[in-house]
Amino acid sequence: MKGLVLPALLIALAEVGARLHGPSDVIAPPSQVIVAFGEAIRNGSLMLATRDTLIAAFGGLTVGAIIGLALGVALGLSRTLDRVLELPVEVLRPIPSVAVIPVALIVLGFGYGLEIAIVAFACVWPMLIFARAAVAGVEPRLLEVARALKLSPWATVAKIVAPAALPRIFVAFRLAAGVALIVAVTVEIAVNPQGLGAALMTYGQALRPDLTLAFLVWVGIVGFALNQGLLLAEARLFGGRG
Amino acid sequence: MTASILDFRDVRLAYGDQLVLGGLSFSMAPGEILCLVGPSGCGKTTALRVAAGLVAPTSGEASFAGAPIKGPRRDVAVVFQDYAKALLPWRTAAGNVSLALEAIGCPRRERPGRIAALLDRVGLNGQDQKFPGQMSGGMQQRLQIARCLAQGPAALMMDEPFGALDAMTRQDLQDQMLEIARATGATILFVTHDLEEAIYLGDRVIGLKPHPGRIGVEIKVDLPRPRDQVATRESPAFLALRRQLYDFIHGAEGKAK
Ligand SMILES: Nc1ncnc2c1ncn2[C@@H]1O[C@H](COP(=O)(O)OP(=O)(O)O)[C@@H](O)[C@H]1O
Ligand SMILES: [Mg+2]
C-alpha cells in the first residue's frame, strides 16, 4: 500500500501541472490519458496492437529460447563444442539486435517474420549463456553419484542435469521474455508498421499526447504483468527448494 | 587362499607428477569393517575412490570379488563425505532413496514399501516428505546411507561420513552403522581421521603415511561386539590400541615435516 503513495502523489502533481500549463501538443494531464485509454480500448486499437506485439514477442521468444537452450545445454555438456563455438558466440553476441534490422528487412520484408527473427536473435543470448552456465554448474558430486549408481547418460540428464539446471534456465527465460517485449516494441518503432511500437510512433507524430501516453503506460503494464506472471510461475515451480 | 572380497595389489596412483598412492596392498574379508586413518592429504579418499571404481590406479591392481575393478558397481555403494552435495535438493527424502531404486530397476509399485523400510532402518521414519534442505546434517547423512542401502550393496565405501557431525549425533550414527553392518553382513571400508572412531568401529585399522600414501601400520582390533559407547571406550584394550595408533600417527606427522 505504501508503494502506491508516491505514484499517486506524482499523478496528482502531473494533473495539476498539465492543467495549469494549458492545452499542449506534447503533454496531457493524467485524466485525459485515462479518457484516451478508454477510447483505445473501445475502438479495439489497443487490443489489436497488443495482440500484434505479443505474437511477435512470444514467437521470437519461443524460437530464440529453443535455439539458445539447445546450444547452451550442448555447450555446457561438451567442452570441445564449447571451445569450437566460443569465438563465433563472442563475436555475434555483442551485436545490438536493432543493428540486425536492415539485413532482416532485406531478407524478410515488413511483418511478423521480421520482428520474430530479430526478437529471436536477441533472446538466443541470455538463454544460451544461462543454460550453458546452469548445465556446466551442476554439482560435480551429483554427477559422481550418478556414476556410482551407474545411471545411463540419458537417465543422468533426465534425473540429475535437467532438474538441477531448470531453476536457472527458468530465470533466463524470464529475462529473455523481458528482452523479447523490449525488442519487439523497438523494432515496431524503428521500422515495422504494426503493434504497440508503431501505435506510439503514429500517435506521437499525430500530436496526440493523450493517446501516446496511454499506450506508453500500457506497454509498461504489459511488461510488468509478464514479469509478475513469470515470477509467480517460478515461485510455484521451484519455490520449495530455496 | 582366503576368499577376500576386496584386494589391492601394489596400487599406485599419480595425479600429474604427484604420486598420491605409492603402492598400497591389502585385502578385506567379506563382512569385515576396515578403517583407514591418516593425516589429511595422505590419500585416504583416493584409495576409497579406487576401491569404488571411480578412479583407476596408474599401476597395480584393485579387484573386487575376484574381478579387476573396471568402474563403479551397483553392489558397491559410496557414502560421500559431503552429504549435503550428494543429495538431490529437489527430491524429498523418499525421492532420494527412490533414485537408487530406479537405478537398480526396482518396479515402481515395490518402491514405496522398500523406501519406508530403508528410511526406517536409518532412523528416518516419518521424514519421507522432507526435503534435504529441511533436514539437519545428521539426518542428511542418514538419508545418504539409506540411498546407499537401497542399492543392496555387498560393500559400503564410507568417506569420513560422520566427520562433520556433532559428538552425540556421531555416536548415534556409529552405533546405527554397526547395527546395519551386523544385520546386512556388508563389507565396510571406512575412512576417518578420528582414531577413536576407527578403533570403535573397525575389525582392523590401517594407518597411512603421507607423500606418497602407503601403509604405515596395521592394527587388528579384537574388541568384543556388540560394542558400547561407554564400556568399549573405557576398556583397557581400547585405550592400549588408541595409544598405539596415536603414537604412530603423530610420529608420522612429526617426520613428514
Ligand atoms: N582429482 C585430483 N587431482 C589432483 N590431485 C588430487 C585429486 N584428488 C586428490 N588429489 C591430491 O591427492 C592427495 C591426496 O588426496 P586425498 O585422497 O583426498 O587425501 P585425504 O582424503 O587423505 O585427505 C592430495 O594432495 C590431493 O591434493
Ligand atoms: Mg579425504
Contact criterion met (CB below 8 Å) for B154 and B97: no
Cβ atoms within 10 A of the Cβ of B217, count? 18
How far apart CA A229 and CA B95 sit, in angstroms, is: 29
User: Residue B55 — very low, low, confident or very high, per pLDDT cuts 50/70/90?
Assistant: very high
User: What's the confidence (pLDDT) of residue A152?
Assistant: 94
Question: Residue B12: its pLDDT value, please?
Answer: 97
Q: Is A6 among the domain residues?
A: no
Stated pTM of the model? 0.80
Gap between the Cα atoms of A83 and A85, Å rounded: 6
Distance between alpha carbon A193 and the CA centroid of its chain, in Å? 20
Asked whether residue A33 is assigned to any structural domain, the reply reads: no
> Is pLDDT at B221 greater than 50 in this prediction?
yes
Confidence at residue B252, expressed as pLDDT on a 0 to 100 scale: 57
B253: which 3 cell numbers?
Answer: 606427522
Residues of chain B whose beta carbon is less than 8 angstroms from a beta carbon of chain A are 52, 54, 71-74, 77-78, 80, 82, 85-86, 88-90, 99-100, 102-103, 131, 133, 151
Residues B103, A150: C-beta atoms closer than 8 Å: yes
How much is the pLDDT for A241?
A: 52
Q: How much is the pLDDT for A242?
A: 42
Query: Nearest ligand, CA of residue A144?
Result: 1
pLDDT at B2: 60
Q: A218 in a domain, yes or no?
A: yes
- Above 60 in pLDDT, residue B24? yes
Q: What's residue B99's pLDDT?
A: 98
Q: How many CA atoms lie within 13 A of A199 on its CB side?
A: 26
Question: Has residue A1 been placed in a domain?
Answer: no
Assigned domain for A26 exists: no
pLDDT at B250 over 90: no
- Ligand 1: distance of its center to the CA of B43 in Å? 6
Q: Kindly list the protein residues whose Cβ atom lies closer than 6 A to any atom of ligand 1.
A: B 15, 20, 38, 40-46
B16 band by pLDDT with thresholds 50, 70 and 90: very high
CA distance A67 to B34: 52
Split into its structural domains, chain A has a count of 1
pLDDT at residue A22 in the model:
74
Residue B48 Cα: closest atom of ligand 1: 17
Nearest neighbour of B82 by CB, restricted to A141, A151, A163: A141
Residue A5 within any structural domain of the chain: no
Q: Which residues of chain A have pLDDT under 70?
A: 240-242
| pLDDT for res B254 | 52
| Distance in angstroms (rounded) separating the CA atoms of residues A117 and A187 | 11
CA A138 / ligand 1 centre spacing (Å)? 21
Among A48-57, A96-105, B171-180, B185-194, which is the least confidently predicted range? Answer: A96-105
The more confidently predicted of residues B257 and A237 is: A237
Decide if the complex's ipTM is over 0.95: no
- The mean pLDDT of B228-234, rounded to a whole number, is 95
Domain assignment of residue A76, yes or no: yes
Overall average pLDDT of the B145-150 stretch: 98
> What are residue A24's phi and psi, to 5 degrees?
-150, 155
The verdict on residue A31 lying in a domain is no
Per DSSP bridges, beta strands B187-191 and B33-37 are parallel
Q: Binning pLDDT at 50, 70 and 90, where does residue B170 land?
A: very high
CATH number at residue A141: 1.10.3720.10
Write the single-letter amino acid at B200: Y
Q: pLDDT band at residue B257, thresholds of 50, 70 and 90?
A: very low
Enclosing domain of residue A199: 49-241
- Name the residue with cell 531404486: B101
Output the CA–CA distances (angstroms, integers) from residue A21 to A6, A28, A37, A208, A211, in the order listed: 22, 10, 22, 16, 19
**pLDDT at position B248, please?**
85
Distance from CA of B254 to the nearest CA of A (A): 34
- Give the tens place of pLDDT for each residue, B74-101: 999 999 999 999 999 999 999 999 999 9
